[in-house]
Amino acid sequence: MSIRFILVATRHPGNIGAAARAMKTMGQAELWLVAPAAFPSAEASALASGADDLLARARVVGTLAEAVADCGLVLGTSARLRSEYYWPVLTPREAAPRLLAARASAPAALVFGTERTGLSNADFDLCHGLVHIAAHPDYESLNLAQAVQILAYELYCATGGEARRPRRGAPLAPVAELQRLRTHAGEVLAEIRFADRRAGPHLLRRLARIFGRAELDQHEVNILRGVLTAVQARRRRAGSPP
């Protein structure tokens, strides 16, 4: 679900492009610009790198009040830790689900201030709350596109996008198969008279734990069983005692 990303008085057009790119990687599409220093601009387009559709559709307005007039929830971002706004400060992870929930009934917005100085008190007056991206105290200079990236990433995670991942080619082997593998390994260890004193009395258990941690699929169990069978066959062909 799309959240309105509003950049206020951005001075460097390259930052607008980089912010658009950061938004697009996370499926965000609604960019508003309040009184940008220069827009449209070739530099913004260059840094957007494939996200120029967001720039083409960006709404440019003169004041933040215009940008949020129809919004329900509006959260302002702040790079600094300060409590004088009398608001609880949200983390990006807390802000994302609130924005998405509010978005169900009305547009919801995230507001990013100008480079270096951030949002003004007058800007914050139009917000319902504050989001602070915790950065390391020694070096808190997250730039505009980085801040946009983290918020867009959290929105993407909150919509379940993060859970999208490739399925393994084969399902995990059933536990009964793992037990047969363990039994088979135990037979081979006995046949080859292997006992590693470092592993202690629970050698076979430790082997089984390794198989478990590796989360084997059936094909891989078959491969290992094949290896064990080959060890047995070779020993037998060689005339070793059974």
Binding site for its own copies (CB under 8 A): 21-22, 24-27, 49-51, 81-84, 86, 88-89, 91, 93, 132, 134-143, 146, 149-150, 153, 156-157, 161-169, 215, 217, 220
Nearer to its own copies, 193 or 213 (CB): 213
**Least distance (Å) between residue 33 CB and its own copies:** 20
Strand 74-78 with 4-8, pairing: unpaired
Q: Where do we find the tokens 């390794």?
A: 210
**Least distance (Å) between residue 181 CB and its own copies:** 17
Sheet holding 129-132, edge to edge: 59-61, 31-34, 4-8, 109-112, 74-78, 129-132, 89-90
Nearer to its own copies, 126 or 150 (CB): 150
Nearer to its own copies, 70 or 140 (CB): 140
**Distance of alpha carbon 48 from alpha carbon 85, whole angstroms:** 34
**Least distance (Å) between residue 209 CB and its own copies:** 16
**Least distance (Å) between residue 234 CB and its own copies:** 26
**Distance of alpha carbon 212 from alpha carbon 174, whole angstroms:** 11
First to last CA, the chain: 66
Nearer to its own copies, 29 or 204 (CB): 29
Nearer to its own copies, 89 or 203 (CB): 89
Nearer to its own copies, 103 or 132 (CB): 132
**Least distance (Å) between residue 100 CB and its own copies:** 15
Give the phi and the psi of residue 133 in degrees, each rounded to 5: -85, 110
**Least distance (Å) between residue 196 CB and its own copies:** 22
Q: In this structure, which amino acid lies at residue 47? A: L
**Distance of alpha carbon 171 from alpha carbon 186, whole angstroms:** 25
**Distance of alpha carbon 102 from alpha carbon 108, whole angstroms:** 6
Q: In this structure, which amino acid lies at residue 91? A: T
